[in-house]
Amino acid sequence: MGHEFQFYSEAGLPVWTGIKASNLRSLQNGIRRVSGSSIFYHVHHALLRRHFTAAEYMNDFARWVWLHLNQPALAEKLASIDPWDFTSVRQVRERLLEYLHTYVGEMETFFRVPERDEFQFLELRSVVFPTGLRARDLRSFHDALQKVGLGSLFYHLVEARLRLGRLSNDFSEWLSERLKEDELAERINDLSPYAYNLWQIRDKIVEMIETRLS
Amino acid sequence: MKTIRLDEYAPLVGAEEIAEIRALAACLGSVSLQHINSTSQGGGVAEILSWLVPLMQDVGIDARWTVIEGSAEFFEVTKAFHNALHGMSVEITPEMFALFREVGEQNLRKVDGQADFIVVHDPQPLGLIAAKRQGGATKWIWRCHIDLSEADLRVWGFLRTYVERFDAAVFHLPEYAKELPIDQFILPPAIDPLSEKNRELDPSEVQAVLERFGIDPEKPIVLQVSRFDRLKDPVGVLEAFRLVRRSHECQLILAGGSAADDPEGAQVLAEVRERAEKLPDVHILDLPPTSHREINALQRAAAVVVQKSIREGFGLVVTEAMWKGKPVVGSAVGGIRRQIIHGVTGFLAHTVEGTAFRIRQLLSHPELAAQMGWAAREYVRTNFLLTQYLKNWLLLLLTVKHPWRGSKQWAVFAA
């Protein structure tokens, strides 16, 4: 990571995979088969699409199990999968399969939904691009942060965990490594997008920096 | 073509979003693109292109729009294909396929062989793919705006041979995608928040429209905007309203397009009128197709919006109501399901009784209605405004220009 912080953004478009699920068993098979970018789309990217519903957020799998398979207990389990807790898509896939395995093992018959209600697995083609915003110190970081969009917050906070391979984010890494702002970095890393929407997280970070600068 | 600038949308989506769109466009570099469709006026595709082309130009794409030419007979054939693709029973003859091929060949000269991208909209101009050069640099994209989920196999089997030669296909919803050897992207449609149908209205304008139609502004309004068509289930809405009216003082507005040229529509309208006579506080508004401001005002005046369709494409009328901060009770069909996050941005219902229950719930709890309306507007802001549509197009062009697959899921453009 260079001395300057460069704000990137991420945007993606879903592609149809042709893989569908009509019951728990086929959902399990689908989750096993699909690419990592499909799991990313249905768990992580769902958070971006519905970020303002943070308090009620449910990933696409949980929502489908709840609405179409009418399995609220399993839906709750699947909904508890918080992208913030994982550093790889593989871990997310394993956790999904673990929860599904328990339920599939307990059931002998599988309710099948009509064709129109099938779960359609999509995968994401993402593009990461520079926003042109940069920061050299805490003040310019504070100023730039107020100009970045949702895609940028998602890239540096949520997707960063997968890229870095650890429970951290780009903002915290840079603040800690380059500006030695360890406490600030730690507090930012505690702001789960499962609890706050991305705009609220941005406002909270801005507020924290303002307190630090005052 | 409209004069339309991306920056005009900054107050609605945020300057940061506009900046992101421009940054994404910069990754694409200098490219040229030709949109090809079958009509310059009327219909959803021409409406979308009337703002998409200038917006693409505004972000630096050398975009233009070409319309194919064809005889009345050709358009009768494509209308029959259109109906067959929607699952209707239509007589299809070998002569129809021959005419489709012939008109495609006659229009080949309209293709800009130098363009980086050629985007063909809907089935009518599919024959132009014959101009694609083997190994050429031009990328061909088919944008399908229609629901193919119940497509007639003869017609789809014929058109498929054209579609397979494209580099990518684009559908509104995953349910519309077909088994094809090319990438199929999912790109939902969008609304223009500054259009006459969606722009902010002064309360006095809303009031004036209500007065004109004799609607009591003090009584909560339940509204469905749709054609008088059985697939929109206006009779079901009346039935739900009857149940709601038992416990809640409110009024129902069924506002729809003119049914003059549609015999079945006229029949449905007559039936709805007859049933409505037995109920108090029902307003049936048979509006001309240009009534954009009236629809806008009615949506803004509503307490609850209903869309009780039996079948629906994407359902942009739901998007319009959601953008106006209204909670929508919609049937769990088609694109309505993609827009309504049940319990968050509105309610999904499956029956007359369920619809009535949710309407009552929203009328009884204005704070819940307000919260849902807020979430609905935010969901539209993030996903279904024309700025997002433009962004999705830029992503699509980047993805088609720089294809990548497999485990590496991100294409990174360096600063």
DSSP calls for chain A:
--SSEEEEEEEEEEEEEEEEESSHHHHHHHHHHS-HHHHIIIIIIHHHHTGGGGGG---HHHHHHHHTS--HHHHHHHHT--GGG-S-HHHHHHHHHHHHHHHHHH-SS-----GGG-EEEEEEEEEEEEEEEEESSHHHHHHHHTT--HHHHIIIIIIHHHHHTSS--HHHHHHHHTT--HHHHHHHHT--TTTS-HHHHHHHHHHHHHHHH-
Instruction: Give chain B positions within 8 Å (CB) of A124.
Output: 409
Q: Does A9 touch chain B (CB under 8 A)?
A: yes
Q: Do B161 and B88 reside in the same domain of the chain?
A: yes
B177·A152 Cβ contact <8 A? no
A16·B410 Cβ contact <8 A? no
Top pLDDT among B88 and B330 is at B330
Q: Given 3-state DSSP classes, what are the helix, strand and coil percentages for chain B, each rounded to the nearest 5?
A: 45, 15, 35
What's the CATH code of the domain at B333? 3.40.50.2000
Which residue from A82, A99, A74, A129 is spatially nearest to B21, judged by alpha carbons? A129
B24·A11 Cβ contact <8 A? yes
Give the pLDDT score at B5. 95
Q: Taking the mean position of all CA atoms in its chain, how far away is CA A204?
A: 19
Give the separation between CA B402 and CA B392, rounded to whole angstroms: 15
Instruction: State both tokens at B179.
Output: 């088994």
Q: Is residue B198 part of a domain?
A: no
Q: Does A33 touch chain B (CB under 8 A)?
A: no
Angle at B21 (CA atoms; ends B17, B27), nearest 5 degrees: 145
A50·B396 Cβ contact <8 A? no
Give the pLDDT score at B407. 39
Q: Is residue B412 part of a domain?
A: no
- pLDDT tops 70 at residue B38: yes
pLDDT in tens, B203-238: 999 999 999 999 999 999 999 999 888 889 999 999
Q: Where are the domains of chain A?
A: 10-123, 133-213
pLDDT in tens, B95-113: 999 999 999 999 999 999 9
Residue B413 is nearest to which of A63, A116, A130, comparing CB atoms? A130
Q: Is residue B255 part of a domain?
A: yes
Instruction: State both tokens at B408.
Output: 């590496």
Instruction: Give chain B positions within 8 Å (CB) of A153.
Output: none
Q: Does A10 touch chain B (CB under 8 A)?
A: yes
Give the separation between CA A33 and CA A129, rounded to whole angstroms: 29
Q: Do B25 and B166 reside in the same domain of the chain?
A: yes
Q: Rg of chain A over CA atoms, in angstroms?
A: 19
A122·B410 Cβ contact <8 A? no
Instruction: Give chain A positions within 8 Å (CB) of B311.
Output: none
pLDDT in tens, B246-284: 999 999 999 987 545 566 788 889 999 999 999 999 999
Give the pLDDT score at B356. 98
**Mean pLDDT value of segment B153-175:** 96
Give the pLDDT score at B412. 65
Q: Indicate the SS3 state at residue B349.
A: strand
CA distance B219 to chain A (A): 31
Q: Does A90 touch chain B (CB under 8 A)?
A: no
Q: Do B311 and B183 reside in the same domain of the chain?
A: no
Q: Is residue B289 part of a domain?
A: yes
B20·A37 Cβ contact <8 A? no
Give the separation between CA A185 and CA B199, rounded to whole angstroms: 42
A16·B174 Cβ contact <8 A? yes
Give the pLDDT score at B100. 97
Q: Which of A40, A48, A52, A134 to mutate to test the interface with B (most CBs of B within 10 A)?
A: A52
A132·B411 Cβ contact <8 A? no
The series of mean pLDDT values per 10 residues for chain A, 214 residues long, is: 86 95 95 96 90 77 92 92 92 96 81 90 93 96 95 94 95 97 96 86 96 94
A40·B409 Cβ contact <8 A? yes
Q: Do B141 and B279 reside in the same domain of the chain?
A: no
Q: Domain containing B291: what range?
A: 203-383
Instruction: Give chain B positions within 8 Å (CB) of A125.
Output: 185, 395, 399, 404, 409, 411
pLDDT band for position B9 (cuts 50, 70, 90) = very high
B410·A18 Cβ contact <8 A? no
In terms of Cβ atoms closer than 10 Å to its own Cβ (0-12, 13-18, 19+), residue A26 is middle
B19·A147 Cβ contact <8 A? yes
pLDDT band for position B186 (cuts 50, 70, 90) = very high
- pLDDT tops 80 at residue B359: yes
Residue A149 is nearest to which of B16, B343, B406, comparing CB atoms? B16
Domain count for chain B, please give it. 2
B20·A125 Cβ contact <8 A? no
Q: Do B243 and B212 reside in the same domain of the chain?
A: yes
Q: Is residue B409 part of a domain?
A: no
Q: Does A40 touch chain B (CB under 8 A)?
A: yes
Q: Which of A15, A93, A118, A123 to mutate to test the interface with B (most CBs of B within 10 A)?
A: A15
Q: Is residue B141 part of a domain?
A: yes
Q: Is residue B109 part of a domain?
A: yes
Virtual torsion, Cα A30, A32, A34, A40, nearest 10 deg: 110
pLDDT band for position B414 (cuts 50, 70, 90) = low
CA distance A75 to chain B (A): 14
Pairing between β-strand A119-135 and β-strand A5-21 as defined by DSSP bridges? antiparallel
A127·B399 Cβ contact <8 A? yes
Instruction: Give chain A positions within 8 Å (CB) of B383.
Output: 49
Q: Does A164 touch chain B (CB under 8 A)?
A: no
CA-nearest residue to B404 within chain A is A125
Residue B184 is nearest to which of A10, A15, A40, comparing CB atoms? A15
Instruction: Give chain A positions within 8 Å (CB) of B390.
Output: none
CA distance B385 to chain A (A): 13
CA distance B383 to chain A (A): 7
Give the pLDDT score at B25. 95
Give the pLDDT score at A115. 87
Q: Is residue B263 part of a domain?
A: yes
Q: Do B376 and B389 reside in the same domain of the chain?
A: no
Q: Do B160 and B230 reside in the same domain of the chain?
A: no
Which residue from B34, B2, B19, B37 is spatially nearest to B397, judged by alpha carbons? B34
Give the pLDDT score at B406. 42
- CA separation, residue B30 to residues B4, B25, B60 (Å): 20, 9, 7
